[in-house]
Homo-oligomer: A and B are copies of this chain.
Amino acid sequence: MAKRHEPLQLTPPDAIDRLRLARTEGIGPVAYRRLLGRYGSTAEALEALPGLARAGGREAPLAIPSYDQAERELHELARLGGRMIFAGMPDYPPLLALLDDAPAVMAVQGDPAALSKPAVALVGGRNASANGQRMAESLAADLARSVVIVSGLARGIDAAAHVGALQTGRTVAAVAGGLDMPYPPEHADLQHRIAESGAVVTEAPLGTSPQARHFPRRNRIIAGLGLGVVVVEAALRSGSLITAHLAQEAGRELFAVPGSPLDPRSRGSNDLIRQGAHLVETAEDVLENLPDHPHREGLGRIPLFAREPDPGAAEPPATWEEPPESPLELARARMQVIELIGTSPTAVDEVIRRCQFSAAAVMAVLLELELAGRVETLPGSRVALLLDAGA
């Protein structure tokens, strides 16, 4: 039987340039997409990068990985039994691809096909109660007979969900750091077991030690891989609620396991139920209410963390199809955009609405500012000013 030439089908011809672009300092998934949209190819985008960063006000040269560096990352990953998957290729998880800020490249350990199966995310607090962990484990075991269980390899509920799922089916861990840096360290063995039948996936390059800022990005991958998110024991203002919020923004179904009001570890999950998430006692409660596809309506928008109302969210996204503005216009737009953005996250739509320049001009300016390290793009099409980088 002839071996199928998998790498030829799943690795794009410009894989190394894609990786170089994705790994360039300050280029998030949104900037990556905009650059490809604007310049048509990774090679041309890479060439344009230094100029854009200078236009955004950057003084130091932009750190673009060399061809050799990118090639080395691919080889290192392969040596560890992993593989890179690329946005737009057949093995890229289709539900994740629906996110506005879907990762351009992800490193995967295990079977990448596990990322494309019908899945439910199961998340919750790290300081979970024994009952909460028991609940997560048995719920995951029951659900894993029908769907892949996605979680974040964290202590507490996440670990219980993976362990439960491994008893009856497959599970996927989305992690914040590099695949060679299991976190927490005591879950190294669990990560290995997950990869044996399912998959471990991350946006981070090898060698990345996970830091606080990586977790919201990891959370959006957890939310994006599943048709729904089940929250077990989440306190108010916890990371699990952020995952739930991101899932809801992506049209995924929300589920929560109720708990006693006397335990603050259930406040967040109870609150989700109060606001419309399905109350979950058994796997059937999830499976019966799990849609076949993500949806954009259904649950009302859940205001988890007092955010500005977003009446313009339904507007079509600005694209580079519009004619680019003149350099003078862009310079003016740049000043106004910087004034409009604060250090707390602002919706891009909001910036466009308040700015007297075209959406295309605003997007161009945001891209330059991001490349210059003066602006950060956050999940949910929001941007924030980075004060420590000058400006």
Copies in the complex: 2
- A262 interface residue per 8 A CB criterion: yes
- CB-based nearest B residue for A274: B279
Per the bound structure, the CA–CA distance linking A266 and B281 in Å amounts to 10
Task: Verify A260–B258 contact, CB threshold 8 A.
Answer: yes
| A side interface size, CB within 8 A | 20
Q: Closest residue of chain B to A285, judged by CB?
A: B274
Residues of B near A262 (CB, < 8 A) are 131, 134-135
A273 lies within 8 A of B267 (CB): no
B281 in contact with A273 (CB, 8 Å): no
Q: A251-280 vs B: 1/0 string, CB under 8 Å? A: 000000111111000110010011000111
Closest B residue to A259 by beta carbon equals: B260
Distance of A266 Cα from B263 Cα, bound (Å): 15
**Contact pick for A267, options B260, B278, B280, B281, CB 8 Å:** B281
A266 nearest in chain B by CB position:
B258
Residues of B within 8 Å of A278, CB to CB, are 274
- Bound together, the chains give a CA A114 to CA B219 distance in angstroms of 53
Q: Find A257's partner among B134, B261, B285 (CB 8 Å cutoff).
A: B261
Q: In the assembly, what is the distance between CA of A270 and CA of B135, in Å? A: 15
For A281, what are the chain B residues with a Cβ–Cβ distance below 8 Å?
261, 267, 270
Task: Give the complex CA separation of A191 and B278 in angstroms.
Answer: 40
CA A352 to CA B302, docked complex, whole Å = 47
Tell yes or no: A197 within 8 A of B by CB.
no
Nearest opposing residue in chain B for A132, CB measure:
B260
> Does A282 make an interface contact (CB < 8 A)?
yes
**A282 surroundings in chain B (CB, below 8 A):** 261
Quick check: A261 and B274 within 8 Å, CB to CB?
no
One of B259, B273, B280, B285 near A259 (C-beta < 8 A): B259
Min CB gap A208→B, angstroms: 37
- For A279, the chain B residues whose CB sits under 8 A away are 258, 270, 273-274
Shortest beta-carbon distance, A279 to chain B, in Å?
4
Q: Which residues of B contact A267 (CB under 8 A)?
A: 281
Closest Cβ of chain B to A125, distance in Å, is 14
Complex contact A131–B258 (CB within 8 A): no
- Chain B nearest CB, measured from A128 CB (Å): 12
Say whether, besides A270-B281, A281-B267, A281-B270, A135 and B261 are in contact (CB < 8 Å).
yes
Sampled A-B contacts (12; CB under 8 Å):
A131-B262, A135-B260, A257-B261, A258-B258, A258-B261, A258-B270, A258-B279, A259-B260, A260-B260, A261-B280, A270-B281, A273-B273
With A135-B260, A258-B260, A261-B281 already in contact, 13 other A-B pairs whose C-beta atoms are closer than 8 Å: A131-B260, A131-B262, A134-B262, A135-B262, A258-B258, A258-B259, A258-B279, A259-B259, A260-B260, A261-B280, A261-B282, A273-B273, A274-B279
